[in-house]
Every structure is written in structure tokens, then in C-alpha cells.
């Protein structure tokens, strides 16, 4: 197993010390694992599954695209979804702080 080091604000560290019964490394491990599952789910989402999730109006517009443009659109959407996950994570950190 690999060890990593991370930083937290002093006030968060103080609050963590108030709860020695909590295994903080396990909390971090689970959090990282769950986040990676979300990211991998986006990465593995096939075009077919993606198309099924779309609003019918948007799907009809996409169907007008040629195959290459549709793939480019799909890649852009995946990138936007990654950005959305990052923003959500940033918002969560803002709530905690």
C-alpha cells in the first residue's frame, strides 16, 4: 500500500483531533474510492448509454450530426461532466470550511 500526505487547515485538524475515535485515513480512503467510481463511470459511459439518458429533443439534434461530430460532442460532454464533479467537490469543501 502506498502512503500519501495531504494538508488540511489548522482549524480542521483541531476538530479532527477532537474525535480520535474516527479513523480519518479510512474516511479519506472511502472518499477517494467513491469519487474515483464517479469519474470512472463517466469515462466508461458508452455512447449508446449516453444517448438513452438524453432528452429526446437534444437527441434529435445530435442525430443530425455526422458520426465524427457526434463523438466530439460526446467527448465535450464528458469533459463538462468532469468539470461539474470538480465544482461540486469544491462546493462541498466550501460548506465544510
What pLDDT digit, counting tens, does each position of 25-62 carry? 999 999 999 888 887 877 776 777 777 777 888 888 88
Contacts of 25 (CB under 8 A, 6+ apart): none
Q: How many CB atoms lie within 10 A of CB 59?
A: 13
Q: What is the rounded CA–CA span in Å between residue 89 and residue 65?
A: 33
> Across the chain, what does the average pLDDT equal?
85
Confidence (pTM) = 0.51
Q: What is the rounded CA–CA span in Å between residue 50 and residue 80?
A: 14
Amino acid at each position: 500500500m502506498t502512503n500519501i500526505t495531504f494538508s488540511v487547515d489548522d482549524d480542521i485538524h483541531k476538530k479532527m483531533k477532537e474525535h480520535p475515535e474516527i479513523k480519518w485515513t479510512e474516511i479519506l480512503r472511502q472518499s477517494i474510492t467513491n469519487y474515483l467510481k464517479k469519474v470512472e463511470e463517466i469515462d466508461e459511459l458508452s455512447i449508446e448509454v449516453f444517448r438513452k439518458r438524453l432528452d429526446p429533443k437534444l437527441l434529435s439534434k445530435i442525430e443530425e450530426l455526422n458520426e465524427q461530430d457526434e463523438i466530439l460532442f460526446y467527448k465535450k460532454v464528458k469533459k463538462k461532466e468532469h468539470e461539474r464533479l470538480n465544482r461540486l467537490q469544491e462546493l462541498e469543501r466550501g460548506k465544510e470550511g
